[in-house]
Structure 1
């Protein structure tokens, strides 16, 4: 019986690494995993995790999703000449007042999170269509479903990914290809350590007014508390990925953290959004309406 070929982006750490290890270590060896990362110098952690259990189940490949030729090279190097399950997991975050963000930095975030994801799907989609089967799983975010202050560019990128996946899900049913978004909240991974974050002492903060800087300081304190209280482990997220992979009829969205669902539900239910904005202000800044400090 042929193995199910899985290609995963962003496997140097976090969710991508954990998912690659879980699938490659499956005792039944039903998966062949192509674990990709931009910098192969970071593959040691992945190799240490799988040890000798991956000889027939995993290859580690260099792939930079911001360069089309890099993706093509991986596609052409896959021994089975097909990908049954594509997992678009690579991404990067950006936190800070909008006034402090350079155009170059904003472009980098959009290049990775939006165009990198689109470029990867675009490359492997024709093969899936030709075979009349396939799965596309994308690491989404609660920030793609609701706006978060000081995450404007990150949320913009994740909102865009939501639109891409939702649009494709409608079309790809005609080709027996299922698209699923794994909607994550805070996760204890290197994503936080690698976050592009405006620090309180950064010179770029001078571009923002004093009130914005004060609210940003409050936001950073809230984030630290939220990660302590609500953050999940990568293994918890992997279980949700497995649910989507093993489902006969996968859902479009899988939510990994029920703690944040009430605010998402409120946003979707509120026609004009005003109640959601007030609720988010109370949740993050402990104030009843924007402007009350």
Structure 2
């Protein structure tokens, strides 16, 4: 049986690394995985995570999704000449008061999360259309479904990705191409440590006292969320595997059902006020904040 060719972005750590390892280690050798990352200096962790010889199931490629030439070079390196399953997983975060974010920083987030995702799909889509066959999986976020304070630009990028994928899904059903969003909540990866975060200890950060206090409460909320609700990457990978193996995958998959009630408020109360009050209470109310004195 012919191997399914899978290309995954963002494989230096986290979800991308774990998914690449799972697929490449499949005993039936059903998948040929092209694990891509911007910086090949970080490939060692992936190599160490794959046990045994995987010459037939794993190749590691340099690919920077902010650089079209880099994407095309990776495409040319695929010996099979096709991609059956495209996993757009690479992403970056930005946290802090909106008024202190520089335009360059904001552009960088949009360049990776939105334009990088679009750029990658654009490159591999024509061949999928020609063959009338393919799957596109995109790592989504609850921050693409609901607004989060101090994550305005990150949420903007993820909301936009939702629009891109939903629009494509309507069209691509006519080409036998399935688009699926895997909506993740907090995950135990390096994402939180690696995101660009405003540090209040930075003397150059000029922000009013009220915003500073609310930001401190939000950081404490995030810490509690990651302690109490964060999922392991293996849990997330199981959802990706479900999508990949499904004969007819759905458009959205939620990895953490505990986070759905707040999102559902956006549908039950269409004016949005109920969600905004509920999220504000969850994060900023005194009984929930429990900030250290």
TM-score, scaled relative to structure 2: 0.96
CA RMSD of aligned residues (A): 1.0
Q: Aligned partners of 1:204, 1:160: CA distance in 2, in Å?
A: 31
Which 5+ residue runs of structure 1 have no aligned equivalent?
289-293
**In the TM superposition, what are the counterparts of 1:137-286 in structure 2 within 5 Å?**
137-206=137-206, 208-286=207-285
Deviation at residue 64 of structure 1 after TM alignment = 0.2
**Cα deviations across residues 44-98 of structure 1 (Å, max 9, x unaligned)?**
0000010324221000000000000000011111000000000000000000000
Q: Secondary structure at the match of 2:115?
A: helix
Separation in 2, partners of 1:75, 1:281 = 45
Aligned to 2:30: 30
Correspondence for 2:291:
none
Whole-Å Cα distance in 2 between the matches of residues 121 and 237 of structure 1?
Answer: 22
Q: 4+ residue stretches of structure 1 with deviation over 3 A?
A: none
Q: When the two structures are superposed, what TM-score results if normalisation uses the length of structure 1?
A: 0.96
User: In the alignment, what sits opposite 1:65?
Assistant: 65
SS in 1 for 2:270: coil
- Greater alpha carbon shift after TM alignment, 249-258 vs 279-288: 279-288
Alignment: residue pair count = 287
**Structure-2 separation of matches of 1:258 and 1:192:** 21
SS at match of 1:203: coil
Tell me if the contact between 2:214 and 2:284 (Cα under 8 Å) persists in the aligned partners: yes
Question: Does the 8 A contact of 2:86 with 2:135 survive in 1?
Answer: yes
- Structure 2's unaligned 5+ residue stretches are 288-293
CA contact 1:24–1:53 (8 Å) conserved in 2: no
Whether the aligned pair in 2 keeps the contact of 1:281 and 1:287 (CA below 8 Å) is no
Q: Name the SS for the 2:205 alignment partner.
A: helix
Cα separation, 1, equivalents of 2:274 and 2:263: 12
Q: Distance in 2 between matches of 1:71 and 1:54?
A: 23
- Matched-pair contact (CA < 8 Å) for 1:65–1:120: yes
